[in-house]
Amino acid sequence: MEKQAQVERSLPGAYNQPQVIGAAWVKSEQGASLVEIALLLPFLGLLLLGVIDFGRAYYLGIEVASAAEAGALYGSQNPTDTAGMQSAAITDAPDVPGMTATATIGCECSDGSSSQSPCPATPPTCAVNLVNYVQVTTTAIYTPMFRSWVIPGLPSSITLHGSAKMRQ
> What's the pLDDT at 119?
81
Summarised one tens digit per residue, pLDDT across range 138-149 is 999 998 887 666
Summarised one tens digit per residue, pLDDT across range 6-55 is 445 555 555 555 555 554 555 667 778 888 999 999 989 888 888 888 89
The DSSP secondary-structure symbol of 124 reads P
> What's the pLDDT at 121?
81
Q: Which of 39-43, 55-59, 154-158 has the lowest mean pLDDT?
A: 154-158
> What's the pLDDT at 1?
47
> What's the pLDDT at 118?
83
> What's the pLDDT at 18?
57
d(CA 44, CA 21): 40
Summarised one tens digit per residue, pLDDT across range 81-124 is 999 999 999 999 999 999 999 999 998 888 878 877 888 888 77
Contact yes or no for 61/67 (Cβ under 8 A): no
> What's the pLDDT at 31?
79
How is 12-43 classified by DSSP, letter by letter?
TT-TTS-EEETTEEE---TTHHHHHHHHHHHH
Give domain limits for the chain.
28-167
Q: Provide the pLDDT confidence category of residue 126 given band limits of 50, 70 and 90.
A: confident
Mean pLDDT across 126-132: 85
pLDDT above 70 (res 80)? yes
